[in-house]
Structure 1
Amino acid sequence: MTSLSRGRAAAIGLIAAGSALAAGHLVAGFGDPRTSPPVAVGAAFIDLVPPGVKELAVALFGTADKLALLIGMALVIAALAVAAGLGSRRRVLPGAGLIAAFGLVGVAAALTRPERGALPALVSLLVGVGVFTWLHRLGQTPAATEIDRRRFLATSGLVVVGAGLAGVTGSWKGSGVASSQQAVAARLPKVPPPPIPAGADFAAEGTPSFLTATRDFYRIDTALVVPQLRAEDWRMRLRGMVERELDLSFTDLINRRLESRTITLACVSNEVGGNLISTANFVGVPVRDLLLEAGVRPGAQQLITTSTDGYSAGTPVEVLLEPDRGALLAFEMNGEPLPAEHGFPVRMVVPGLYGYVSATKWLVDAEVTTFDRLAYWQQRGWAQQGPIKTQSRIDRPQRNAQLPPGPVTLAGIAWAQHTGIEAVQVRVDGGAWQVAELATEVSRDTWRMWRLRLDLPPGEHRVQCRAIDATGTPQTEARQGVVPDGATGLHDTTFRCA
């Protein structure tokens, strides 16, 4: 029996694995893209890992955490594929068995997902084992002639090209809600956004602009692949502890009373001084209106909203029923239909609550229930309720900046959504707190910019800031991590004047 060279054996493993993934991706593209084997495995991994691992990923990679996971998966798959090839230099069974075992992992992962689409994973398994077996036998043909070598290379090349075409076709078939978004844009009622007064930011001096461009709005969620849900197919049930269930289509939704609100959203994973906070104009239907129409029964405690991919968040009913809370089922963001990555066609936004208890994207179900039922993050040890904590951040100077001595402008942001910011104080090198100048307030549901001009001598300086909310309560100096209900502590930065 001819023994394969190491290079040829490794190549056979890689080609077989690539073919398997491409075939599964192709099949998923003609059905539900979320059933693509690597997506199903990655989503199952996200669901199973402890909260600490998720927080570490966000801390290390920020909004690129999903890309980092996909790259990591690709490296693991490549390593296993090479191992399968090298383990089968003489006999096909060890490598084929390893590929089959990995395929079964994909099938099991698919069956744990809400979509329960195991067909793409089964196709991946069969194609992977089949290609591996075929190329292994072809590769063991004694390479006594140039024709034999060329036949193996040509066959392998054709398999690679076919796999590439299958992968591209699967991505093309499984992508895009652009036509639905265009149709929605043409029929959305025009609801003017709240006016933004002059002086709402200090962007020229280092703060963010008051409104965050949609492309720059942070994104943290559990969806490894963005769900592709058309507005024409969208429906949502409001059910559970209500007197009357509501069953809404997208047309039903946009024909109701609408509100436009400027809201700052913040992620519970935002570390002290972090950038997982953004502000946008949202248009949608007041959640309170829907709850009042449905009639919430006594004893109800939370509204569990569920995404099309099975993610859920539990929002306190008493918060949603507050007359001035302004929670929305939103379908428009910054004057356009929601982007797919931000929840098209419908998501929920609730001022003053962290997203993990309020900001469900790709929303398809809403159930009024009690706190006995645990939503996604509560099942993983996070707090039941998530009011946003008063926080502040220094944006300028940046850490380790080199500045000339003399006049220096410090600038940053502060937030205490649905309470409001009364003041921001800054201290330099452990000295007395000094009151910063605040930008014009837009609403208590949005961030507020601050700045302070100081004359600083040469040397290294350490600056801290703290916000004081509209009740007169300063943010806590006690350091706490993001688990279980958001980080606390004072942000600081160091820089040198020379």
Structure 2
Amino acid sequence: MKNLAAQARPKQAGNRSAAALTGVLAALTVLGVGHLVAALIDPAASPFYAMGASVVDHTPHALKDAAIRRFGSNDKLALFASMAAVMVVFAAILGILERRRPLGSVLLVLLGGVVLGAALQRPTATPWFAVPTLIGVAAGVLALRVLIGRVPVSGPALGGEATEGVSSADRVAGEESHPRAGSMGGGASMTGSAPRSDRDTGRDLELDGERRSGGRHPAEGGTIARTGPMGIGAAAGDDTAAGVGRADVGDVAADVGPAARNDAVAGTRRAAGGDSAATILPVASGGIGPSRSADVSSTSGTPPSGSLGGGGSRRRFLLFAAGVGAVAVGAAVAGQWVGARLRDVVADRAGFVVPRPVVPALAVEPGVRRAVPGLAEFVTPNDRFYRVDTALQLPALRSGDWRLRIHGMVDRPMELDIVGLRRRVAVERMITMTCVSNEVGGELVGTAVWTGYLLADLLAEVGVRPEADMLLSRSVDGFTAGTPVSAVTDGRDALLAVGMNGEPLPIAHGYPARLIVPGLYGYVSATKWVVDLELTRFDRAEAYWTQRGWAAKALIKTASRIDVPAAFATVPSGDVTVAGVAWAQHRGIDAVEVQVDDQPWQPATLADEYSTDTWRQWTWRWTAPPGAHTLRVRAIDRDGVTQTDARAQPFPDGSTGWHSRVITVR
């Protein structure tokens, strides 16, 4: 028996693996089919993105900061990978639970209800947002039921031989009706030889009498009376037939294992007149024979209760699984393709013409830049500009469909389209942007030339009422940011931008229009894909991140960073160039100082200032002695405020502290 159990373990593990695979494929079907349907309604209704957006909405700020710190602008990919891993685990559990009862299907429906709720809670949701999840879950349950009925149950026969092609339900029925403690029915040994008891002989005679009085031989299509520990069972054709039975085949009386709904049979038979026990292998339904080499290739099991189809071979299961997987993946790919064709924002952006600014940005003079390898470029290229936002799927908003509504506490509400916007005066400005999630010394900061329209001019057109102190901007995907009205109307170059570094805004950076407000962290000012501006008050409305505990008003803090030498670099002794950048938008940088170990602070050399709204590069020449050294940097802004050394995390209004790097000098 120990050997039998050892042989069974890997087979049972294989069955669990197949069942787990059915769960994963069912979940993939939900997502793929749902994604395809969502492409016809609204991409934001996709079950995967709706679930992901809900995760983003409820992620604790500490975990969000940790993800951004670790992955930077690749935090979306990290989230997708994490979600996929969790879904695979849960989906595998659903498949395993589905083996005996439709528990997996029930849980899949319940999880679908959770995703449905998440989809309907999206800021831009309509009742149609429910359709992709409903259809996806229905397809997923169907896939689960079809596949689970074809999971091959592979395990050793009671005599030690392997059986294949038996469904999970058959295996369960056999295990429940067949004694496992090394005996068959009335106590016959499964292996070796054992004397026939009078009780055994009596049962043989009783069964023989019943067969002669009305039963027919199995080969003639007759019924088989069955006896077991609880007495005589029903006929083989009866739905209640189960357990261990005996049948006379010619002059031989055999102990027969569970007859699983007229399918494969297995067990141990014993000759009526001898002591030896012989193994009976599964045979096709319709007859039971004593042969040790019965053909098992024709057996086909039956599925679990309520499943579709019958159990089969591994090859058949794998074919069905491959088919379901192909449908799921194909649906997801088709969803992407259909969505792109229905909302071809890439082609739209390619045809967008950046307006020619009436007032172009100032040229970057040679003294503004420092040519030091490893130092951040003064103007950040578009493809290297940081990206941090809540959009798991980039909104596909074409310029022809774009509208900007300006309303609220104004005298003359207004709605603009792209044609109306182009009639206004365009300007161009160089502005450095900073993300509030930027850690001390982080890279979530960059400078670009922005082309657009002054927000102050647009607000003047609608007539902002004196009591309004908040400009609540809204993205096409529902994200909101609250900007002080004073920061837009105090003369700074706050923009409704449509161009970046001479090109149309990249889709990831807000095409076709976004906000740029110098001096404020992006989460309170830099709404991408902006479609709505509401004039209101801070005591009446809250924006997305302020609802989650972040500060309502967030001025960019004075900061500086060492770019060269790199962290933990080894440099030769002698003259070493230390270089970096410093920023304090809308105030400007007045000085930068560098410290080596605990020595006195030394003034760095600043590059020329482009404007108070951009960062400044700096350099410092250091005569480096051999050994390990720690370099630190701090900045002093135009208001005379020295950057604090007190370390603070980004939450709730930006990080603080001195950036440092450890260097080895040889």
Correspondence 1:162 to 2:174: no
Aligned partner (choices 330, 337, 341) of residue 172 of structure 1? 337
3-state SS of 2:325 partner: helix
Q: For residues 243-268 of structure 1, give each alpha carbon's deviation from its aligned partner in whole angstroms, at most 9, with x where no partner exists.
A: 11111001111221111001100001
State how 1:154-303 maps to structure 2 within 5 Å: 154-175=319-340, 176-185=344-353, 188-189=355-356, 192-303=360-471
The residue that corresponds to 2:633 in the other structure is: 465
Q: For residues 418-475 of structure 1, give each alpha carbon's deviation from its aligned partner in whole angstroms, at most 9, with x where no partner exists.
A: 1111111111111111111111211110010000011111001111111111222211
> Could you tell me how far 1:210 is from its partner in structure 2?
0.7
State how 1:13-32 maps to structure 2 within 5 Å: 13-32=23-42
State how 1:353-372 maps to structure 2 within 5 Å: 353-372=520-539
Q: For residues 392-439 of structure 1, give each alpha carbon's deviation from its aligned partner in whole angstroms, at most 9, with x where no partner exists.
A: 000111121111111111000000101111111111111111111111
Correspondence 1:105 to 2:114: yes
> Could you tell me how far 1:103 is from its partner in structure 2?
1.3
Distance 1:85 1:165 in 2: 22
> Could you tell me how far 1:190 is from its partner in structure 2?
5.5
Give TM-score, length-normalised by structure 2.
Answer: 0.72
Distance 2:613 2:623 in 1: 33
Instruction: Check the 8 A contact 1:201/1:207 in 2, yes or no.
Output: no
Distance 1:193 1:301 in 2: 29
Structure 2 unaligned spans of 5+: 1-11, 153-164, 168-295, 301-311
Instruction: Check the 8 A contact 1:407/1:455 in 2, yes or no.
Output: yes
Counterpart amino acid of residue 594 in structure 2:
V
3-state SS of 1:100 partner: helix
Instruction: Check the 8 A contact 2:372/2:579 in 1, yes or no.
Output: no
The residue that corresponds to 1:145 in the other structure is: 297
Structure 1 unaligned spans of 5+: none
> Could you tell me how far 1:35 is from its partner in structure 2?
1.2
Distance 2:371 2:409 in 1: 47
> Could you tell me how far 1:52 is from its partner in structure 2?
2.3
Q: For residues 174-212 of structure 1, give each alpha carbon's deviation from its aligned partner in whole angstroms, at most 9, with x where no partner exists.
A: 234112112213x63356443111132224342111111
3-state SS of 2:400 partner: helix
3-state SS of 2:54 partner: helix
- For CA contacts below 8 A with separation 6 or more, give which structure has more relative contact order: 1
The answer to which of 466-475 and 211-220 deviates more is 466-475
Correspondence 1:309 to 2:461: no
Aligned partner (choices 76, 98, 101) of residue 66 of structure 1? 76
Counterpart amino acid of residue 496 in structure 1:
T
The answer to which of 147-156 and 345-354 deviates more is 147-156
Q: CA RMSD in A?
A: 1.7
Q: For residues 465-497 of structure 1, give each alpha carbon's deviation from its aligned partner in whole angstroms, at most 9, with x where no partner exists.
A: 111112222112222211111111111111110
3-state SS of 2:432 partner: strand
> Could you tell me how far 1:295 is from its partner in structure 2?
0.8
The residue that corresponds to 2:87 in the other structure is: 77
Identity, % of aligned positions: 46
Instruction: Check the 8 A contact 1:205/1:409 in 2, yes or no.
Output: no
Q: For residues 194-251 of structure 1, give each alpha carbon's deviation from its aligned partner in whole angstroms, at most 9, with x where no partner exists.
A: 3111132224342111111100000001111111111100001111111111110011
The residue that corresponds to 2:309 in the other structure is: none
3-state SS of 1:138 partner: coil
> Could you tell me how far 1:142 is from its partner in structure 2?
2.7
Residues 145 and 152 from structure 1, CA distance in 2 versus in 1: closer, same or farther, beyond 3 angstroms? farther
Instruction: Check the 8 A contact 1:13/1:83 in 2, yes or no.
Output: yes
The residue that corresponds to 1:338 in the other structure is: 505
> Could you tell me how far 1:10 is from its partner in structure 2?
1.3
Aligned partner (choices 131, 146, 160) of residue 134 of structure 1? 146
3-state SS of 1:383 partner: coil
The answer to which of 195-204 and 387-396 deviates more is 195-204
Counterpart amino acid of residue 102 in structure 1:
L
Q: Point out 4+ residue stretches in structure 1 off by more than 4 angstroms.
A: none
Equivalent pairs, count: 494
Q: For residues 276-301 of structure 1, give each alpha carbon's deviation from its aligned partner in whole angstroms, at most 9, with x where no partner exists.
A: 00111101110000111111111111
Counterpart amino acid of residue 135 in structure 2:
V
Counterpart amino acid of residue 665 in structure 2:
C
Distance 1:41 1:65 in 2: 16
3-state SS of 1:233 partner: coil
Counterpart amino acid of residue 14 in structure 1:
V
> Could you tell me how far 1:358 is from its partner in structure 2?
0.2
Instruction: Check the 8 A contact 1:25/1:170 in 2, yes or no.
Output: yes
The answer to which of 115-124 and 408-417 deviates more is 115-124
Residues 303 and 190 from structure 1, CA distance in 2 versus in 1: closer, same or farther, beyond 3 angstroms? closer
Counterpart amino acid of residue 97 in structure 1:
V
